[in-house]
Amino acid sequence: MGFRVKGSDSILQDLIAWVSASTDKITDFNIGSAIRNSGFHAFGFTRAGTKKATGTVTITYKNPLTLDTVIAKGTKFNTGHTRANVITFQSTENIKVLAGTEVIDIPVECMEPGEIGNVYAGEINKLEIGSPYVKHILNTQPFIDGRDRESEANRELRFREYVHTLQRATADSLAYGIKLVPGVAGVAIDDNYIGWVYAYVYDKDGNLPADLKTVVERQLIDYRGAGIEVSVRPVVKKLIDLNIEIIYKDGIDEEMYNDLVRRLVEVYINTRPVGSSLSMSNLVTVINDTYRDVIGHINVCENADVKTLKNEIIKAKEIRINGKLSSSIGV
């Protein structure tokens, strides 16, 4: 009976293969692995759930109301023809409308959780049960706070941010603590001063309501270090106007696409974080990539990029889209 003598390299390779095969779940650090999930669970890092999109719908009456009335909680509003599938929203509280009222704002939320409720301005324009007294219905601002269930990749990123918070009073620690407050859309930390930090905080509309500021200040007690003062301040809004000229390919409904492009630009601008500048070339790329099948040429009349400081946030004021068919200009 003969024996094959293995060399040391062969023995080592077999040992590595055996260890790898026998302990793959222990040494696997990929998403979903045992060690990673154990770490998440130990610190209570479950994946964030879905969130319903919220906002305001404005009702305009044909004439001032002659009697007080109540718009009941649960009143349903729908999107119109710009969506292939109708999205339904419902009012979140009872609203008393006094006699003499012509315009009233109604707080609503999407009935389905997730990003599906993030609609452009003007898309919610119907009452599910019509009223002869209503002239028109409109959401004047886009809804942007609907959220799908958190991805595994984003949970990992959030966990890494949390690790940095274990050292109190760092910029990462303060920013993380503030972003845990419901209603906070973003924050910028300025820690360039000895013993003093400025936290620029804003909600989805770029504002800092008094009640939100109070909650943030209370939250910071657990995150700021001894002897460090944190001043919570609103961001500075930079309102911009844009004129965009577009040449569409023939056979396109330019009025419809003018509206779609305008809404796309508004969302692109209004969802930029604090301190983020606006590149016009990037904006053109976004428009072209979204509607490349119908657009032949794009020109942004204000071609200078919009620069921001660390505490400034860009918001759209008036976006004008001037679209024409190529045949109408002899192209």
Q: How far is CA 211 from the centre of its chain?
A: 21
Query: Pick from 247, 175, 234, 167: which is nearest to 206 by CA?
Result: 234
Tell whether the torsion through CA atoms of 88, 93, 94 and 97 is positive or negative.
Answer: negative
Same domain (yes/no): 249, 320: yes
**For position 218, which CATH number holds?**
3.30.70
- If you count them, how many residues does the chain have? 331
- List, as one string, the DSSP characters of 35-66: HHHHHHHHTT-PPP--B--EEEEEEEESS--S
pLDDT at 214: 94
In a domain, 1, yes or no: no
How many structural domains comprise the chain? 4
In a domain, 145, yes or no: no
Going through the chain in order, the beta strands assigned E by DSSP cover 54-61, 69-71, 76-79, 88-91, 95-97, 103-110, 124-127, 134-138, 186-193, 196-202, 229-234, 236-248, 295-300, 312-325
Same domain (yes/no): 198, 251: no
Q: Which pLDDT tens digits describe the chain residue by residue (331 residues)?
A: 454 555 555 655 565 555 555 544 444 445 555 555 655 655 566 777 789 999 999 999 999 999 999 999 999 999 876 666 889 999 999 999 999 999 999 999 999 999 899 988 778 888 888 888 888 888 888 888 888 887 877 777 777 666 655 555 678 788 888 888 989 989 998 888 777 889 999 998 889 999 999 999 998 887 776 667 889 999 999 999 999 999 998 888 888 888 888 888 988 998 888 999 999 999 999 998 888 888 888 988 877 899 999 899 999 988 999 988 887 766 5
pLDDT at 26: 45
pLDDT at 259: 84
Same domain (yes/no): 323, 283: yes
- Beta-carbon count within 10 A of 259 CB: 17
Tell whether the torsion through CA atoms of 294, 297, 303 and 308 is positive or negative.
Answer: positive
Same domain (yes/no): 129, 161: no
Can you tell me the distance from the alpha carbon of 259 to that of 254, in angstroms, rounded to the nearest whole number? 9
Same domain (yes/no): 260, 325: yes
Pull the structure tokens for residue 311. 């505490």
Same domain (yes/no): 250, 321: yes
Tell whether the torsion through CA atoms of 26, 29, 35 and 38 is positive or negative.
Answer: negative
Same domain (yes/no): 325, 248: yes
Count CA within 13 A, CB hemisphere, residue 309: 8
The residue range of the domain holding 162 is 152-234
pLDDT at 141: 84
Same domain (yes/no): 229, 250: no
Query: Pick from 266, 52, 53: which is nearest to 140 by CA?
Result: 266
Predicted TM-score (pTM) of this structure: 0.56
In a domain, 76, yes or no: yes
Same domain (yes/no): 100, 168: no
pLDDT at 27: 45
